Amino acid sequence: MIKIISFKICPFVQRVTAVLEAKQVAYEIEYINLKDKPQWFLDISPNGQVPVMVTESGTALFESDAIVEYIEDEYGPLEQGVSNEQRALDRAWSYLGTKNYLVQCGTMSSKDKETFKQRTEKFTAAFTKIEKQLSGETRFFKSDILSSVDIAWLPLLHRAAIVKKYTGFDFLCGMPKTQAWQQAVLAAGLAEKTVSEDFEALFTDFYLTNTYLGLGEDAAENAGCGSSSCCG
């Protein structure tokens, strides 16, 4: 069986497990401590990072983009009949999401208001592009069928929802189409399946404890979120 080497709150791993869950490909998962990487992991991971995916034949694949492409090559794409042009566009929108994973992590880790504001501005610029792109007429990014773009953005949308639940702060403030998309992606039920049971506790402990965001001070500022003028 496929094995995924994981760290519990890594968004790059979550994207990979989301593709496997969406494709209903069975896999097992092994968690490691990134602060104390085991030698067997360093031996198979050229970049020393998770995710690593060990294939059925024992090959260790690394870099989440390459792993996702392998899953599609090996087990078939999520959607059939996508043209080469559309696939290029889907990949481009996916990359826009994945290159913001660390931006979101950095934003959530901010220790003071000024840093948090600056990083939030940079991070939410990606969602502004999404808001412009979404038609508002379909459940998911392109249509009513879940696509690779939805999956690439799932970790960002999932984390934003947890932040909102615990602090009241909404990264998607003033973006009604993106908020609706977030609800639809989360309602698809993949989010919980793609993380460990203790994910929310670990996530809040890591990002909402001893951080500016964890203080909940900005919640009041965007409490009326949903209207397009709330963020000022």
Ligand X SMILES: N[C@@H](CCC(=O)N[C@@H](CS)C(=O)NCC(=O)O)C(=O)O
User: Site residues (CB under 6 A) for ligand X?
Assistant: 7, 10, 12, 34, 48-51, 63-65
The token pair that represents 49 in the structure block: 């990072």
Least Å distance, CB 98 to ligand X, is 7
Pick the closer one to ligand X by CB: 67 or 161.
Answer: 67
Least Å distance, CB 99 to ligand X, is 9
Give the closest residue to 22 by CA, choosing from 149, 125, 107, 136: 149
Pick the closer one to ligand X by CB: 37 or 139.
Answer: 37
Give, in order, the Cα–Cα distances in Å from 41 to each of 34, 45, 158.
10, 6, 28
Element (H, E) at 28: strand 27-31
Give the closest residue to 29 by CA, choosing from 190, 154, 203, 195: 195
Least Å distance, CB 50 to ligand X, is 4
Q: Are 157 and 151 in contact (CB under 8 A)?
A: no
Pick the closer one to ligand X by CB: 13 or 22.
Answer: 13
Pick the closer one to ligand X by CB: 114 or 205.
Answer: 205
Least Å distance, CB 47 to ligand X, is 7
